[in-house]
Amino acid sequence: MSGFTDDIVVEFADLPRIKGKAELERILKARLARQKGYRLEKTLRDVAGATIVGSWTGDWVDDDR
């Protein structure tokens, strides 16, 4: 989380817009707690000003909680 500013805004998949570092950390911790054996591969596609575009492929098994 140290790489993010307190006022970060994240638009990810079908989730509502995530505003702020604290909200992002809360969502990530909850999500990663449910995903066992998480593996991620990312590809950077473009950087234009403050916008970063990338693609990713992830694998995991959902926890049965």
User: Domain extents for the chain?
Assistant: 9-60
Question: Contact 19/9 with Cβ under 8 angstroms?
Answer: yes
pTM of the model: 0.65
Distance in angstroms (rounded) separating the CA atoms of residues 9 and 20 = 6
Instruction: Kindly tell me if the per-residue pLDDT of 35 is higher than 70.
Output: yes
CB 46 within 8 A of CB 55: no
* pLDDT mean over 24-42: 92
Average pLDDT, the chain: 92
State what percent of residues in the chain have pLDDT above 70.
98
- The whole-angstrom separation of Cα 31 and Cα 29 is 6
